[in-house]
Amino acid sequence: RYISTFRPSVKCEAEKNKAQWKTMGPAKVAVPSPKNFLQKHSKEPKLPAGKKEQDSRKLPALSVPRRTDHPVMGIQSKKNFINTNAVAAITGLPKKPQPIYVDRRQGDKFLLETSGLVPKYIKKKDYGVTPKYVAQRNEEIKRAQKEYEAGILEHLKKRAMKQVSDEERRSLLQGLKKNWEEVYREFQGLSVEIDTIPKKLHKEKLESQMKQLEHDIEVIEKHKVIYIANE
């Protein structure tokens, strides 16, 4: 069979490099110290420490003492706090009880001031006075109404129209009411039994006249300002 020519040299090197522990590792291994244990986040990369920016503005004075401040020691007072408190309690005015109200017989108590039962708002200086914004809004409405009326007058002047006076309006209203009374009197004089076509047509005519007069009277009473075109 085939035998390698390098066999003797390989065997020699293997025997030369083989130690007493063979291939199982060294007999004694250096044990690490228990103090050198792996800590949390120890292998994470750390950023270089940044320089603190120095603020040129001065910090405001604190109203509370700092952590490094120490109280002043050694101060003594000869004041008798017990007697002082007793005199203040004797000579002081008694504390008034807070007004409350009970809404149920189980004794549920609530503050009286915030309940709305005390009329405290009527004692204000500006109670019942029209607010400024309301007065300003009313003035704006009046100004807008005047501008609107002025625009209507200008438009009516362009169209050659005139306004009916109060006396003419009153006389016109009285005339319409008088005509309605006459038509109504004639309507009341109709026969009870309407059995012919002329009677029926006459009744419908009176009803239409009364309806038209009522509409005209309602329009004139509703509108105080009336404009008519010049002939």
The domain locations on the chain are 100-160, 161-230
Q: Write down the pLDDT at residue 137.
A: 94
Q: Write down the pLDDT at residue 146.
A: 92
For residue 30, give both structure tokens: 């250096």
Q: Write down the pLDDT at residue 140.
A: 95
Q: Write down the pLDDT at residue 192.
A: 79
What pTM was estimated for this model as a whole?
Answer: 0.33
**Cα distance between residue 42 and residue 33, in whole Å:** 17
Burial of 1 (0-12, 13-18, 19+ CB in 10 A): exposed
Q: Write down the pLDDT at residue 145.
A: 92
Please say whether the beta carbons of 230 and 157 come within 8 A: no
Q: Write down the pLDDT at residue 56.
A: 52
Please say whether the beta carbons of 179 and 213 come within 8 A: yes
Regions in the chain scoring below 70 on pLDDT: 17-27, 50-60, 62, 158-161, 229-231
Please say whether the beta carbons of 173 and 217 come within 8 A: yes
Q: Write down the pLDDT at residue 141.
A: 94
Listed in sequence order, the residues at least 6 apart from 117 whose beta carbon sits closer than 8 Å to its beta carbon are: 101
Q: Which stretches within 3-101 are classed as H helix?
A: 7-17, 81-91
**Cα distance between residue 226 and residue 162, in whole Å:** 9
Please say whether the beta carbons of 227 and 163 come within 8 A: yes
**Cα distance between residue 184 and residue 181, in whole Å:** 5
Beta strands in 43-104 (DSSP E): 100-102
Q: Write down the pLDDT at residue 54.
A: 53
Listed in sequence order, the residues at least 6 apart from 61 whose beta carbon sits closer than 8 Å to its beta carbon are: none
Q: Write down the pLDDT at residue 123.
A: 77
For residue 211, give both structure tokens: 């309806």
